[in-house]
Amino acid sequence: MGCMLRSDLMTFCDIFIQPETAFEIVAHFGEMGCAQFVDEVKRNLISCSGGIFKARMTPDVKAFQRNYVTEVCRCAEMERKLLYMESEMLKDNIEIVMYDSLKPAALPLNELSALENIIDKWESDVIDMSENQTTLLKNYLELTEMNYVLNNIGPMLGESEMTEEAIFGKTAAGDTGLQGRLFVISGVVKRSRSFPFEMMMWRVSHGNIYYRLASQDTILQDPVTGQDIRKVAFLAIFQGEQLSARLEKVCSGFHVNMYTCPQSYNDRMDMMIQLGTRIGDLEQVMSKTKYYRCKALRTVSKQWDTWMVQIKKSKAVYHTMNMFTLDITRKCLIGQCWVPDTDLQKVEDMLARITEKEGSNVESFILKSDDADEPPTYHRTNKFTKGFQALINAYGDSTYRELNPGKNFLTF
């Protein structure tokens, strides 16, 4: 930032690396942050550099036809699973432990496979526990709504027992008496939809209905979204089987949960006692399920940040390796990149060090080349200037080696 011209001097290079050392070399390039690779697969050229001819693939190569697309897809799938577990942590207000001081490296294929098995196991456990919890919440919602209906609709029915005899006396032989029979529908409806629901019930029945709402609303939790929903119980008494079928369709259209209310007072009291016992048992099971689910998510939260960084770095490495092409013998990866002039020696030392470390018979090397494209702009920053440069980049990228106006301003 203190130079008269923006950007360091950039050199276009050809890099030749062995497939067995490609992952580690590209990962070191990423940690060094001193190279911008060019997608060589899209270049339909044949060039010569240092006496070595390189045949490049045609631009018709699709994304799924590249060499390391399988590894990229595996990393993307693991990233998706971690994001799913992150969303489950947010539902239970579990914080992810962040390690700002740690910088985990990209994982090679064998270690990535081991991590993939671990993530698969945790995701499977979380999915099973989440599905069980959702099922328990649905059962709990049904029992709670039924208990609420009995407590609020029961007093409207009174202590007398409703008989199934026709209201116009006994039926003749062979007559089912359905035309004179009373039908009862009870259930819960959303409070915000209670008035339109009541109007529709009145219109469909032409006013031939006894309809009442409970005096008190209740707030219930949706088992899928986890949001609170205000609902109210209703009681509808009417006559006729055909009208019953029409009103049930109205209830289905308004997504009303209907519950059968026992006709006798004693049966209603017995059902309320049974519901109280079942609700108590279900609450204990739900508490245990939530405890083990949160315990599993807290365990994952301690490693989530490290795993995500490792997967993203590995995905970036394989994505960069897809920009390389194989030579005719398929024993050498050939790539192209822009490197600052001042970092060329560091890159050569890194290639020699990794080649010696892996014990490869053939050395990996980098050669200067020519390219007609304009070099990318590279700003060398430090801890102090990094934030300021990020602010400048938000307004746009400067042209390569343009005049630096920063020399004309005073810092304050």
DSSP string, 137-169: HHHHHHHHHHHHHHHHHHHHH-SSPPP-S-TTS
pLDDT score for 146: 94
- Given a contact cutoff of 8 angstroms between Cβ atoms, the answer to whether 135 and 340 are in contact is no
Q: What is the pLDDT of residue 173?
A: 46
Beta strand 365-368 with 218-221 is unpaired
306 is written with which tokens? 């490290």
Supply the pLDDT for residue 157: 76
Give the pLDDT score at 2: 55
Round to whole Å and give the CA distance between 92 and 285: 17
* Helices 344-358 + 19-32 axis angle, to 10: 140
Task: Note whether 46 and 56 are within 8 A (CB).
Answer: yes
3-state secondary structure of 171: coil
Predicted local distance difference test score (pLDDT) of residue 50 = 35
Q: Are strands 46-49 and 36-38 parallel, antiparallel or unpaired?
A: unpaired
Q: Write down the pLDDT at residue 410.
A: 45
Report how far apart, in Å, the C-alpha atoms of 178 and of each of 158, 183, 306 are.
Answer: 24, 9, 69
Contact 363, 351 (CB under 8 A): yes
Which domains, from first to last, does the chain contain? 1-40+323-411 (3.30.70.240), 72-158+183-289 (3.30.70.260)
d(CA 95, CA 80): 18
β-sheet bridge partners, residue 220 = 229
d(CA 347, CA 68): 24
For the chain, the C-alpha Rg in angstroms (whole number) is 36
Residue-by-residue pLDDT tens, the chain, 412 positions: 556 677 788 999 999 998 888 999 999 999 998 899 988 766 543 333 333 334 344 455 676 778 889 999 999 999 999 999 999 999 999 999 888 777 888 998 899 999 999 999 999 999 999 999 999 999 999 999 999 999 998 787 766 555 444 444 444 444 555 555 788 999 999 999 999 999 999 999 999 999 999 989 999 988 888 889 999 999 999 998 999 999 999 999 999 999 988 878 888 899 999 999 999 999 999 999 999 999 999 999 999 999 999 999 999 999 999 999 888 777 889 999 999 999 999 999 999 999 888 877 788 899 998 876 888 888 888 888 888 878 888 888 778 877 666 555 545 4
Query: Rounded CA gap, 112 and 118, in Å?
Result: 10
Residue 59 dihedral angles phi and psi, to the nearest 5°: -75, 0
The pLDDT assigned to 56 comes to 43
Q: Check residue 411 and give its pLDDT.
A: 53
Cβ atoms 275, 150 nearer than 8 A: yes
Flag whether the pTM goes above 0.95: no
Report the DSSP beta bridge partners of residue 141. none
